[in-house]
């Protein structure tokens, strides 16, 4: 897929850091402001999709990018399942909010609400990598190609 004109490339240069920073902010402050894991994750996926759309997919190593996205998504879902068995390893139930019971922070601060920010980070990584890998699998497809 070819890239776009020079104006689009320059505007993309200016906007991609801001969108990525906004996505990470929405993921980290998921327990204080609207947003959370899913909203921040799709924002991060949209940022990477914008890069591929503006610069074209001819100059990148597409197969390597697909493998990297798939690996990141697997790490994200594995991290989420690992967080659910933290409570089981420490003597309570499965998926128990154990950090909120042993050292709760003050409300409305960044370090509070127990297990919820960690789950938000894992879901953000997983959803972002999943949507980006769907896009890049469809973008580099050549219909009718045989190995």
Partner 1 sequence: MIVFILAIILFSIGLYGILVKRNLIKMIIGLVIMEYAINLMLALVGFRKGGIAPIITPEISETATFVDPLPQAIVLTAIVIGLGTTALLVSFAVRIHEKYDTFDVRKIRKLRG
Partner 2 sequence: MTTLIILTILMIFGAIVALESKDILSGIISLGIIGFALTINFLLLKAPDLAIVQIIIETLTLIILIAAVLKTTREETVEKFGTQKVLLWAIGIIFIIVFVYSSVRIFNHLPEFGEQSLRMAKVYIDQGLTLTGAGNLVAAVILDFRGYDTLGEATVLFTSVVGVMAVLRKVGRKRS
Binding-site member from 39, 51, 60, 75 for partner 2 (CB under 8 A) = 39
* Cβ atoms 66, 140 nearer than 8 A: yes
Residue 121 contact among partner 1, partner 2, none, beta carbon within 5 to 8 Å by kind: none
Contact between 134 and partner 2 by CB under 8 A: the answer reads yes
Binding-site member from 127, 129, 132, 136 for partner 1 (CB under 8 A) = 127
| DSSP reduced 3-state for 142 | coil
Binding-site member from 38, 51, 60, 139 for partner 1 (CB under 8 A) = 38
Contact between 131 and partner 1 by CB under 8 A: the answer reads yes
Which residue, 6 or 145, is less far from partner 1 as judged by CB? Answer: 145
In DSSP notation, 3-56 reads ---HHHHHHHHHHHHHHHHHHHHHHHTTTTSS--HHHHHHHHHHHHHHHHHHH-
Q: Which helix (H) or strand (E) holds 135?
A: helix 116-139
* Distance (Å, whole) CA 35 – CA 30: 5
Residue 19 contact among partner 1, partner 2, none, beta carbon within 5 to 8 Å by kind: none
Cβ neighbours of residue 143 under 8 Å, at least 6 residues apart? none
Binding-site member from 46, 57, 68, 75 for partner 2 (CB under 8 A) = 46
* Distance (Å, whole) CA 83 – CA 13: 36
Can you give the binding site for partner 2, defined by CB under 8 A? Answer: 26, 30-39, 42-43, 45-46, 49, 53, 66, 70, 73, 77, 80-81, 84, 95, 97, 100, 104-105, 107-108, 112-116, 119-120, 123, 126-127, 130-131, 133-135, 137-139, 141, 143, 145-147
């Amino acid at each position: 897929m070819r890239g776009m004109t020079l104006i689009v490339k320059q505007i993309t240069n200016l906007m991609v850091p801001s969108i990525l920073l906004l996505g990470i902010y929405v993921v980290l402050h998921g327990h204080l402001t609207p947003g959370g894991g899913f909203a921040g994750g799709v924002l991060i996926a949209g940022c990477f999709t914008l890069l591929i759309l503006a610069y074209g997919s001819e100059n990148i190593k597409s197969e390597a990018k697909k493998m990297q996205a798939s690996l990141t998504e697997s790490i994200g879902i594995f991290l989420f399942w690992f967080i659910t068995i933290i409570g089981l390893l420490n003597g309570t139930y499965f998926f128990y909010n154990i950090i909120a019971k042993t050292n709760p922070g003050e409300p409305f601060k960044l370090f509070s609400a127990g297990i919820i920010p960690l789950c938000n980070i894992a879901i953000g990584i997983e959803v972002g990598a999943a949507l980006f890998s769907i896009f890049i699998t469809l973008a580099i497809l050549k219909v009718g190609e045989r190995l």
